[in-house]
A and B are shown apart, each in its own frame.
Chain A
Amino acid sequence: MTDASPDLAAYEAKARELLSCIEAGDEEAVGKALDELTRLRETELFREIGKLTRELHEALKSFRLDGRLSDIAVSEIPDAHERLNHVIELTENSAHRTLTALEESLETLSSIGSEGKVLAAEWKRFRSRQLSATQFRGLGQQLDQFFERLESEGDAIQAKLTDALMAQDYQDLTGQIIRRVMELVKEVEDGLVSLISISAPRQAPDKATESAKSADKKKDDEKKLEGPQVPGQESESAVSGQDEVDDLLSSLGF
């Protein structure tokens, strides 16, 4: 350590004194010189501890004074917790929506398929002239019903598959929420690095200003865009749905 170098002269003087006492064979003087050397060492140790204590104190004080860091601890970490919970909910709902749409569509398709097979067999019998006129009238009615069914169930399956398609919007919404939480984690990391740099300035002198910059940048970003609203944490000025967007726009002459 460079700050300790002026004391080397003091050590040297004491060491020479000790050596000359040893050479002179003066045991009492050797003991005294050793005690003095030890005291010198202890004084330096205490000073170093004192310095560390002061730095730690400063670090803790700046930690408390840094509003951004206390915001993070008090509100943003719990917010992040809620945001991630919301991500779980969104992914769960989307998975269920998709699975329901697929299960129902598969069931309908399979029943249409078996009805089709029965009718195809009957149709084959008609083509090979194995049906009586009465049987053919019955087949004709069945085919009419089957075509009607194809039309209505076809529409229903299309609606269900479209719903399965829409359910995939969770990836965009949760992606945006997760990105925000990642930004927060990065900010906490920067804050901790700057805390370390305050307590050990020789190791990372530049990190503190970097993290201060990133905290400022974060505040600016927040003013701009918020992404998906999370239940329980909605912005006061956020609309609650498409109807409110439409009302707002029509009030603006749209």
Chain B
Amino acid sequence: MRILIVDDFSTMRRIIRNLLRELGFQNTQEAEDGNTALPLLKKGGFDFLVTDWNMPGMDGLTLLKHVRSDDDLKHLPVLMVTAESKREQIIEAAQAGVNGYIVKPFTAATLEEKINKIFDRIESAE
């Protein structure tokens, strides 16, 4: 399982990387915004994307839309971890095809729960 973590704050990337490692996901890579993440994703090999929303350059929602409109990437599970907490935004992300939405600040348990839920749903759909 290879995971890409996208956030403009290096501290947040580090927190998520460490939490994922505790959950047993060792193979992670990082990008600071959509512009750096998208080429990495297009190169292939990622099974899961964790992204922030508000980032300079390309934001997380735009990245999500790019992923969903790319034939090779459209089925990639995407978890959004963001401080954006307005209802309209959560709905917008849902409509754009996000698989999970976590508002910051969050707990390790929330991250684990959402990741498990996403993979359970993928497994039951297969």
Query: 30 A-B pairs, CB-CB below 8 angstroms?
Result: A162-B18, A162-B19, A162-B108, A165-B15, A165-B18, A166-B19, A169-B105, A169-B106, A171-B9, A171-B12, A172-B83, A173-B105, A176-B54, A225-B84, A225-B89, A227-B83, A228-B83, A228-B104, A235-B85, A237-B88, A238-B87, A239-B85, A239-B86, A239-B103, A242-B102, A242-B110, A248-B90, A249-B101, A252-B91, A254-B94
B48 at the interface (CB under 8 A from A): no
Chain B residues with CB under 8 Å of A48's CB are none
The CB with the most chain B CB atoms within 10 A, among A226, A245, A249, is that of A245
The CB with the most chain A CB atoms within 10 A, among B14, B85, B106, is that of B85
Could you list 19 further interchain pairs (A-B, Cβ under 8 angstroms) beyond the known A171-B12, A239-B90?
A162-B18, A162-B108, A165-B18, A166-B15, A166-B107, A169-B12, A172-B83, A175-B9, A225-B54, A225-B84, A225-B89, A229-B85, A235-B86, A237-B86, A237-B87, A238-B85, A238-B86, A238-B87, A242-B102
* Interface residues in chain A, defined as those with a beta carbon under 8 Å from any beta carbon in chain B: 158, 162, 165-166, 168-169, 171-173, 175-176, 225-229, 235, 237-239, 241-242, 245, 248-249, 252, 254
| Assembled-state Cα–Cα distance A176/B103 (Å) | 14
| Assembled-state Cα–Cα distance A252/B101 (Å) | 13
Q: How many residues of B contact A (CB 8 A)?
A: 31
Q: Looking at the assembled complex, report how far the CB atom of A148 sits from the nearest CB atom of chain B, in whole angstroms.
A: 23
Chain B residues with CB under 8 Å of A175's CB are 9
| Assembled-state Cα–Cα distance A249/B105 (Å) | 18
Q: Looking at the assembled complex, report how far the CB atom of A37 sits from the nearest CB atom of chain B, in whole angstroms.
A: 63
| Assembled-state Cα–Cα distance A171/B18 (Å) | 16
Chain A residues with CB under 8 Å of B11's CB are 168-169, 171-172
Q: Looking at the assembled complex, report how far the CB atom of B7 sits from the nearest CB atom of chain A, in whole angstroms.
A: 7
- State whether B88 touches A227 (Cβ < 8 A): no
Q: Looking at the assembled complex, report how far the CB atom of A224 sits from the nearest CB atom of chain B, in whole angstroms.
A: 8
| Assembled-state Cα–Cα distance A84/B49 (Å) | 32
